[in-house]
Amino acid sequence: MKLLVVKELKSGEKRVAVVPQVVSKLQALGFSVQIQAGAGEASLQSDELYQQAGATVITDIDAALSQAECVVSVNPLTKEQIGKLLPKTLLVSFAQAKRDLDSIRAAITQKVSLLSFDFLPRISRAQAADALTSQATVAGYHTMLKAASLSQRMFPLVMTASGTIRPAKVLVLGAGVAGLQVMSVAKKLGAVVSGYDVRVASKDEVKSVGATFIELDLPPLEGQGGYARELNEERSRLQQELLTPFITASDLLITTAAVPGRPAPRLVTSSMLQTMRPGSVVADMAAESGGNVEGSVPGEIIEVAGIKVWGGANIPSQMSPDASFLYSGNIVSLLGFCVKDEKLAVDLNDEVLKGSALILDGEVVNDFVKQELNEGSN
């Protein structure tokens, strides 16, 4: 089976879908691995390393696309790339219904299949393929280090003959994978860490990383797959009001809240920000999906009343070698569900494949994608 790894075309993307360390694992599944020349350079993976691992480095990408049986990438292929594929080719990447409609429509026209990590079910069988989790782990780590570098404060308690420096106070909103990683890193840096989440299970998770859980007088909100549900307007207003005193007392505020397939919930308004002390730092990990913090800009640092506000943009890509390594493992695991007797077969009776499949041989098999396509045509 011919598997092709393409060079990412999205501006600023440094990751690669397959690193040399997993080439042998793909070969063990029955794949011959081709990689576009230079695809791994931004992740510090040279063409020579791929060749040493047994992959073939190719320069004629159009010819490779026209012969591939499986193409793996971080971001979806462009409609131009998809137009060069054979029918029934299997594509594996992150793909969202709203954001990637052009690629989805091209995949339908070309009669190819598309699996998306954005829709992978969060069940125990699929843990090794859970790319959202692996990339959120990297993103949480980078975000806390970025926020710390922007702060003028030392993090740990420091006692000296000339005086005592109190530890920095870090507040994290959202206790998913990314949020827990942020808390863990902040704790290791010596900060006093607090966390908040609307989900019932989050209290014990926050405590497990050494942080203090903030309890608000609000009913919990639990969504499917362990995610939070979207907040209604009244609950959002009340939550903002109750969170304000905790935000005011913090030196660093990190927001990580997201609702799959929906804009990020607005947790912090500009008036709430202005209650923080000058020199405080805010990091919004959800800036690209609408932002948890009013006014945050993806990829930029702005200043509000003396407070630095950093908006995250493609955060895992900022630590591309490790992010790519983890993503490669997710690729191998998901393809393991697709190989039967050394042939590719997407069996929708398997709940892992049923959940992650958006298109099968040109037919849309995901209800959310069907809805977006219908709305887009109206």
What digits encode the pLDDT tens for the residues 55-90?
999 999 999 999 999 999 999 999 999 999 999 999
Give residue 86's Cα distance to chain centre: 29
Q: What is the 3-state secondary structure (H, E, C) of 54-75?
A: CCEEECCHHHHHHHCCEEECCC
Q: Could you tell me which CATH number the domain at 138-318 has?
A: 3.40.50.720
The whole-number pLDDT of residue 236 equals 83
The reply to whether domains 2-129+323-363 and 138-318 share a CATH topology is yes
* Beta carbons of 81 and 6 less than 8 angstroms apart: yes
* Beta carbons of 16 and 50 less than 8 angstroms apart: no
Q: What angle do CA 61, 65, 70 make, to 5 degrees?
A: 130
Q: In DSSP terms, which residues pair with 57 in a beta bridge? A: 35
Distance between CA 262 and CA 272 in Å, rounded? Answer: 23
CATH topology of domain 2-129+323-363: Rossmann fold (3.40.50)
The whole-number pLDDT of residue 261 equals 65
Tokens of 136: 């959120």
Domain boundaries, the chain: 2-129+323-363, 138-318
The whole-number pLDDT of residue 172 equals 98
What digits encode the pLDDT tens for the residues 292-348?
999 999 999 999 989 999 999 999 999 999 999 999 999 999 999 999 988 999 999
The whole-number pLDDT of residue 220 equals 66
Q: How far is CA 46 from CA 16, 39, 49, 50, 55, in A?
A: 11, 8, 5, 7, 12
The whole-number pLDDT of residue 377 equals 63
Give residue 210's Cα distance to chain centre: 24
The whole-number pLDDT of residue 233 equals 80
The amino acid sitting at 97 is A
For 59, half-sphere exposure in the C-beta direction (CA atoms, 13 angstrom radius) is 0
List the chain pLDDT tens, one digit each, 378 residues.
Answer: 999 999 999 999 999 999 999 999 999 999 999 999 999 999 999 999 999 999 999 999 999 999 999 999 999 999 999 999 999 999 999 999 888 999 999 999 999 999 999 999 999 999 999 999 999 999 999 999 999 999 999 999 999 999 999 999 999 999 999 999 999 999 999 999 999 998 888 999 999 999 999 999 887 665 555 445 556 788 888 999 999 999 999 999 999 998 766 788 999 999 999 999 999 999 999 999 999 999 999 999 999 989 999 999 999 999 999 999 999 999 999 999 999 988 999 999 999 999 999 999 999 999 999 998 887 665
pLDDT > 70 in the chain, percent: 96
- Give 50: exposed, middle or buried? Use CB within 10 Å, 0-12, 13-18, 19+: buried
